[in-house]
Structure 1
Amino acid sequence: MLFAIICIDKPGHEAVRLETRPDHVAYLRQEDEQVMLAGPFLSDDGSAMTGSLIVYDAETLDEAREFAAGDPYAKAGLFDSVTIRPWRKTIDNR
């Protein structure tokens, strides 16, 4: 089952995001069989990263929660909120 992991950064934590980004990207890459897509949310003008969206393939919600909790961004305290929702891909125009 696919899960959308929606993370919103704490205001004023841009330095935490930048410092932790290499570890975050490496963490996602080590799960390349399960990470279907991932990328940052941006500010309205596109100049700053403000959160993350990860679509993760897991057997259970608990497995998706465990993956999200292990993210270096989460461990560094970057996120103000993390929401994990079951998600179904309906259209893929790639």
Structure 2
Amino acid sequence: MPVCLLTYDYVEDILERRAPHRDAHLAHIREFSARRGLVVAGAVGDPPSGGVFAFESDAEPAAEAEAFAAADPYVRAGLVASRRIEPWNLVANTWKPDAGPE
């Protein structure tokens, strides 16, 4: 099944600006995880410098990734400086299905 990665580079002051949008951003992730092919999502870096999202679909995972980004509250609020969508040629997968935010 085709997989693609959506990667975000956040603005430098993401920690100061994200609070009003964080709950909506996390709800958006949950919605796409439940129905739209989002299989992995999370911030990278400490402090966070970006985000990574993996989409899997029988048809067009890149279209799902673009729909996700276009409606993401972080993108709409200007918290994402740049984004990329690329095919991911997955060669290993030992992912833990119960991993997620607490």
Pairwise TM-score range, normalised by the shorter structure: 0.7 to 0.9
Q: Structure 2 length normalisation: TM-score?
A: 0.77
Aligned to 2:40: 37
**Matches of 1:13 and 1:93, distance apart in 2:** 31
Gaps of 5+ in 2: 96-102
The within-5 A match list for 1:1-94 is 1-33=2-34, 34-42=37-45, 46=46, 48-58=47-57, 59-60=59-60, 61-94=62-95
Structure with more strand by fraction: 1
**Matches of 1:80 and 1:72, distance apart in 2:** 13
| CA distances 1:19-64 after superposition (whole Å, capped 9, x unpaired) | 211111100111124111000011xxx3x22211000124333342
**Matches of 2:56 and 2:70, distance apart in 1:** 15
Kindly provide the amino acid, as one letter, of the partner of residue 55 in structure 1: A
Sequence identity (%):
26
SS at match of 1:52: strand
Q: Structure 1 length normalisation: TM-score?
A: 0.82
Report if the CA contact (8 A) 2:39-2:54 is conserved.
yes
**Matches of 1:30 and 1:91, distance apart in 2:** 26
Structure 1 residues 62 and 93 mapped into 2: Cα distance closer, same or farther (>3 Å)?
closer
Gaps of 5+ in 1: none
